[in-house]
Amino acid sequence: MSSAARTGSRKIRTYVLDTSAILTFLKAEPGVEILDDLFSGTDRHFIISFLTLYEIYTATFRNHSKQAADFLLRATLQLGLDIDYDNALDEVISAGIVCGDFQVSPIGAWIASLAIRKRAALVHKDPEFEALKDHLDLLYLSSR
């Protein structure tokens, strides 16, 4: 599946960033150099799901504190990524199919479904997405 779109004469590559990708970038974890390369390129469009914000906030609140969750949420918002808030019935069905067919977690299915809908590459560290390798472009954030 192609994750490129044309705008005028430019070819724009679209990426959906999973929660693990955002946390990798914010915490400078192994794999951050791949994100640095992506972010420094031109003609690239980055999207996250609203559920990524939810997952970052919830996990950080649960494992650390409200203050840490607030900080990471603000840091994520300051990255200037497009946030997809679409939760229409078509998206619910699409994510439900991904969840059911590929045994992906509900939030993972929503994020993968977003990548499929946007014809985007899914940037992640989560091995659960490997089940979808024949259905969308995956960019796994491993350390080099």
**Which tokens in the block code for residue 50?**
């609203």
Indicate the average pLDDT of the chain.
91
* Single pTM value for the model: 0.88
User: Distances in Å between the alpha carbon of 8 and those of 1, 43, 91, 121?
Assistant: 21, 11, 28, 21
Helix and strand numbers (H, E) in the chain are: 6, 6
Residue pLDDT, tens place only, 41-98: 889 999 999 999 999 999 999 999 999 999 999 999 999 999 999 878 999 999 999 9
Q: Which residue has the tokens 């472009």?
A: 137
pLDDT at residue 125, as a whole number: 95
112 or 87, greater pLDDT = 112
Diameter over CA atoms, the chain: 47
Residue 132, pLDDT > 50, answer yes
pLDDT at residue 110, as a whole number: 96
Architecture of domain 4-140: 3-Layer(aba) Sandwich (3.40)
25 or 3, greater pLDDT = 25
Residues 6+ apart with CB under 8 A from 142: 30, 31, 34, 125
What residue type is assigned to position 16 of the chain? V
Domain ranges (residues) in the chain? 4-140
Cβ proximity of 120 and 47 under 8 Å: yes
pLDDT at residue 122, as a whole number: 98
pLDDT at residue 1, as a whole number: 42
